[in-house]
Amino acid sequence: MYFMDVSDPNIYDPDIVEKVEPQTMACPPAGCSDKPELKEIQLDYFSWPLIFQNLVCLGSFFIMLLVLASSVIIRTSVSFLTTLIAANTNDQTILYATVTDIALYADYCTNYFSMILIFFMALNRCLSFVNSDWNETIFDGKRVFIPVIISILLGVISSIVIIITSDIKRRYATFMGFIDYGYKEGWKKVINRTFHIFPIGAVICYLILFSHIRQRNQVVTTVPKNQADRKVFTQLLVTVVFYGIMSTIVEIMEFIRLDSTQNLQATLIAILNVFNYLPELSLPFLLVVNNLKQLKNNSIFISPLGPKTNNVVTTVGGKGEEPSFNQPALVDLKKTVACIGNITCKGSKKLVKFHFDTLVFSMEQLEGDKIQCVRKTGQATQLRQCILDIWPFLHAKQYNGEIITCTHDLLKDLECGSEEKKTIMRAAWAQDYNMRTKIATWKGIDGVDNFDLVFDSGDFY
Pair (263, 383) in one structural domain = no
Pair (180, 285) in one structural domain = yes
Pair (107, 238) in one structural domain = yes
291 within 8 A of 284, measured Cβ to Cβ? no
Indicate whether 6 belongs to any domain: no
Pair (366, 248) in one structural domain = no
Q: Helix 348-365 and helix 380-388: axis angle, to 10°?
A: 160
Q: Is the pLDDT assigned to residue 309 strictly greater than 70?
A: no
Pair (126, 228) in one structural domain = yes
Pair (238, 351) in one structural domain = no
Indicate whether 275 belongs to any domain: yes
Indicate whether 453 belongs to any domain: yes
Q: Report the pLDDT averaged over residues 22-40.
A: 42
pTM of the model: 0.48
Q: How far is CA 35 from CA 57, 268, 306, 311, 354, in A?
A: 33, 73, 17, 22, 20
Pair (361, 286) in one structural domain = no
Q: Is the pLDDT assigned to residue 197 strictly greater than 90?
A: no
**What is residue 142's predicted lDDT score, i.e. its pLDDT?**
82
Indicate whether 39 belongs to any domain: no
* Cis before 29 (ω within 30): no
Pair (137, 238) in one structural domain = yes
Which tops the pLDDT comparison, 43 or 214?
A: 214
Q: How far apart are CA 93 and CA 91, in angstroms?
A: 6
Q: Is the pLDDT assigned to residue 292 strictly greater than 80?
A: no
pLDDT band at 275 (very low <50, low <70, confident <90, very high): low
Indicate whether 38 belongs to any domain: no
Pair (240, 188) in one structural domain = yes
Q: DSSP assignment, residue 72?
A: H
Q: DSSP assignment, residue 401?
A: S
pLDDT band at 124 (very low <50, low <70, confident <90, very high): confident
Indicate whether 13 belongs to any domain: no
Q: Is the pLDDT assigned to residue 273 strictly greater than 50?
A: yes
Domain that residue 164 falls in: 59-293
pLDDT tens sequence across 335-377: 444 455 555 567 777 777 787 778 878 888 887 677 778 777 7
Number of domains the chain is built from: 2
* Cis before 147 (ω within 30): no
Pair (235, 285) in one structural domain = yes
Indicate whether 442 belongs to any domain: yes
Pair (311, 237) in one structural domain = no
Pair (216, 277) in one structural domain = yes
Indicate whether 16 belongs to any domain: no
367 within 8 A of 388, measured Cβ to Cβ? no
Q: Is the pLDDT assigned to residue 318 strictly greater than 70?
A: no
At 112, which CATH number? 1.20.1070.10
Q: How far apart are CA 40 and CA 82, in angstroms?
A: 48
238 within 8 A of 275, measured Cβ to Cβ? no
Name the percent of the chain lying above pLDDT 70: 56
